[in-house]
Amino acid sequence: FDHPERLEPRIQVNHGKRLPWIDRLFQQPVLDDPAVEAMHAAIESWQHPDHDTAKWPEED
């Protein structure tokens, strides 16, 4: 999704089959580590784009 912040859930489905820990998820400690952020920023995606391409993978 290009703008995931626009996709706020409005309903819950399969509520009875949720994982038992899901209600505690946002009570867990937050990992705020610049090294982890840098690692995530360095990851390259090789996912095919959502549009047709003349050649894949694209060349640099």
Q: What is the pLDDT of residue 19?
A: 94
Q: What is the pLDDT of residue 60?
A: 67
Low-confidence ranges of the chain (pLDDT < 70): 60
Q: What is the pLDDT of residue 56?
A: 74
Q: What is the pLDDT of residue 8?
A: 95
Q: Smallest Cα–Cα separation from 33: which of 41, 21, 23, 25? A: 41
- Does the pTM surpass 0.75? The reply is no
Determine contact, residues 48/56, Cβ cutoff 8 Å.
yes
